[in-house]
Amino acid sequence: MAKTVSLADALFMKLEAQIRSGDMAPGTRMPTQKDIAEQQRVSRTVVREAMARLEAQGLTVARQGSGVFVSNDAAFQAFQIARHEITELADIVRLLEVRLSVEAEMAAFAAARRTLDDIAAMRGALHDMAAVADDAVASAAADTRLHMAIARATQNDTFVKLIEFLGVRLVPPRSLYLRNQPPHAQQAYVEKVRAEHEAIVDAIVRMNPAGARDAARHHMQESLSRHTELSQTMNLLSRN
């Protein structure tokens, strides 16, 4: 299934790529909105939206009476994953590949450093996941709280910031994986994911870093395998 990208999204990504690659060097004056609209054959409204996003992300800066210029710090802007970049299974697979190693080590650090308060937070999130298992949105929110509790248990604020940054991108939407699946398949999926999470928390509670690392890696690998297989299947179907 092809990803739907708005004209503004497409233009933003094109201009962003030119800036980050150095094709538009720091200090370069950007073409006027009129010129961009004519060159790209889009409306001025599309250009305004794309340009506003470039400025909001610090990639460009407007100078009164002079125009818009590529920021001198454009090459050093923070890594970002926008919501519109995580809409299809292929996007989720790419993010899961990155999370695989991060989540495993995060769990190991959590097992070595967790406190009683951390245990209570993790168990509370597990309880909430079970209580709202039939509600995909609420379950995803509880899932995110569990990962946040594990991040806090590392006593490392960088892990916490990373999980906060991922936010809604952290938990793949269940609907993408379970689309067109019967109720019994959905229930089996929920129970499997819950068991994987419980194994991670159990190892953290027992202060077993190696066990926590293995459990977290297993969970992420299973999720990666599930979504990769489905993505490949859907790609094949879309070609037929």
pLDDT tens sequence for the chain (240 residues): 344 458 988 899 899 888 877 788 889 999 999 999 999 999 999 999 999 989 888 889 999 888 999 988 765 555 555 555 555 666 777 778 888 889 999 999 999 999 999 999 999 999 998 898 888 778 888 888 999 999 999 999 999 988 887 765 556 655 555 566 677 767 787 888 899 999 999 999 999 999 999 999 999 998 888 777 766 665 665 665
CATH topology match: 7-76 vs 85-239: no
pTM of the model: 0.63
Q: What is the CATH number of domain 85-239?
A: 1.20.120.530
Q: What is the CATH number of domain 7-76?
A: 1.10.10.10
Cα separation, 121 vs 127, whole angstroms = 10
Cα dist. 30→16, 25, 41, 64, 227 in Å?
A: 12, 10, 17, 14, 40
| SS3 state at 121 | helix
